[in-house]
Amino acid sequence: MDPLSAPGIATRFPAPRDVLELLKPVTWFPPIWAFMCGVVSSGVAIADRWPFLIAGVALTGPLVCGTSQAVNDWFDRHVDAINEPGRPIPSGRIAGRWGLWIAHIGTALSLLVAWATGPWVLGATCVALLCAWGYSAPPFRFKVSGVWGPAVVALTYEGLTWFTGASVMAGALPAPPILIVLALYSLGAHGIMTLNDFKAVEGDRATGLRSLPVVLGVGRAARVACVVMAVPQMVVVGLLAHWGHQAAAGIVAALLVGQIVLMRRLLRDPRGQAPWYNATGTTLYVLGMLASAFGLGGVAGL
């Protein structure tokens, strides 16, 4: 029997600090940022939608994103027992089946809050939760694929959270330009997720994870990631200009030029420079998201 999931072991309720560590608050920032981009892109005044705004932040951060972290840690508990034995589940601080129960509780709470927020938000939340479970849990385990794994994370972290922010504020399906731009930024985020795989090439290869650096090699995977990040932003620049948002298009274009300059250093040593690029180039990428959102929302002339 699996000692980490045996029902008779330590059924006491885990300490709140251990539950918080399991939910990994540091991972909540990217989806909350994308959610706020959705809020801005809607062009709706925040003053009239404060309760929905608070519900949306809770939903995209601690609820759905936190639940996804609990799901991932539960189904990776055997790997973490080797690589990260100090994590709450393999260390025994969250013992028995509490890790799985926390994931189920988070799923239920997410659906309840989404149901109270509106039908479009509920729909997006259902898709996000399906992705969260499918990413880590068998039989799907999208994370083993270098194509589907990053795609699922990019969709949930960027696209669905942006969609949620715009839906929360408008109380309806977002306008087509918003849907197009969030889809493009979700596509580009696939490259960002690929960069995260450079740090664990040997481990991924040993455990059967077919990340792009494993399948293509580090150099080719880095070039693919750069193209995937850059091309959707080029399309965004063209669309913003076409729609009359000239200032926003100019800002996004300038931020893209900055990323391309930084990519040259990344490509010289992808494994060594990936963390540096995530702190620099990825920052420019998400600032471009916000500039696009301001343009779509008609804020400050953008």
pLDDT in tens, 246-255: 999 999 999 9
Over the stretch 26-76, which tens digit does the pLDDT of each residue have?
Answer: 999 999 999 999 999 999 888 878 888 999 999 999 999 999 999 999 998
Predicted confidence at residue 6, as pLDDT, reads 44
Predicted confidence at residue 203, as pLDDT, reads 67
As a whole number, mean pLDDT of residues 207-234 equals 88
Helices (H), the chain: 16-23, 29-42, 50-58, 64-75, 77-83, 98-117, 119-136, 148-154, 161-170, 176-195, 201-207, 212-216, 218-242, 246-268, 270-297
The domains spanning 16-174 and 175-302 adopt the same CATH topology:
no
As a whole number of angstroms, the distance between CA 103 and CA 119 comes to 23
| Local confidence band at 9 (pLDDT 50, 70, 90 cut-offs) | very low
Please give the residue that has the higher pLDDT: either 4 or 26. Answer: 26
pTM: 0.90
The alpha carbon of 155 is separated from its chain's Cα centroid by a whole number of angstroms, namely: 7
What percent of the chain clears pLDDT 90, i.e. is strictly above it? 70
- The domain locations on the chain are 16-174, 175-302
Sign of CA pseudo-dihedral 133, 134, 139, 145 = negative
Name the least confident of 11-20, 29-38, 219-228: 11-20
As a whole number of angstroms, the distance between CA 262 and CA 62 comes to 32
Mean pLDDT over all residues of the chain? 90
Report whether pLDDT(1) > 60: no
Cβ atoms of 98 and 90 closer than 8 Å: no
Token pair of 263, please?
């990519």
Cβ atoms of 56 and 168 closer than 8 Å: yes
Predicted confidence at residue 211, as pLDDT, reads 78
As a whole number of angstroms, the distance between CA 182 and CA 161 comes to 9
Which CATH number among 1.10.10, 3.30.1370, 1.20.120, 2.60.40 corresponds to the domain 175-302?
Answer: 1.20.120
As a whole number of angstroms, the distance between CA 242 and CA 220 comes to 33
CATH number for the domain whose boundaries are 16-174: 1.10.357.140
Residue 11 burial (CB count, 10 A): 10
The alpha carbon of 278 is separated from its chain's Cα centroid by a whole number of angstroms, namely: 14
Token pair of 40, please?
């801005």
What Å distances lie between residue 22 and 45, 66, 154, 164, 246, CA to CA? 35, 8, 21, 24, 44
Residue 82: which of 160, 27, 4, 28 has the closest Cα? 4
Residue 51: which of 133, 226, 168 has the closest Cα? 168
Highest average pLDDT, of 49-53, 89-93, 284-288, comes from 284-288
